[in-house]
Amino acid sequence: MAQILSALILTFLVGCTATSAPHKEIKKGSAVKPSTNEMVKSCEYLDDLIGTSGWYGVFATQGVESARAEVLVKAQKIGATNVVWQSSNVSYGSTSVTGKVYRCNDY
């Protein structure tokens, strides 16, 4: 019984580490900034990006954070400087977020 409990705890900890991995990919000094539509009105629109996470239900807050981190990593890779969050969807089995990303020259 102790071995089963140890295996479950280890699986949970590995899962927690795997879902927070996108944060490690974000480069220091070039972070994409959360913004409003007003802040990006003179910026170049790049794309709508979607991030997903396996966290949902009572872990929905962690799911949204993990999905947003995924969007930020994708945005940084395409040279975005700003993101305007559009929606969050927490459903059975997953959480997703959508953000419009922009490149602003005044940052």
Give the bridge partners for 38, in sequence order: none
Q: The pTM is what?
A: 0.71
Percent over 70 (pLDDT), the chain:
71
Q: How many domains does the chain fold into?
A: 1
Q: What is the pLDDT of residue 2?
A: 57
> Tokens at residue 67, please?
């999905």
Helices (H), the chain: 2-19, 22-25, 60-77
Q: How far is CA 107 from CA 22, 33, 42, 45, in A?
A: 23, 10, 12, 15
Q: What is the pLDDT of residues 28-74, one digit of tens each?
A: 445 899 999 999 999 999 999 999 999 888 899 999 999 999 999 99
Return the CATH number at 89.
Answer: 3.30.110.70
Provide the residue range defining the domain that includes 73: 2-103
Q: Report the distance separating Cα 27 and Cα 48, nearest Å.
A: 21
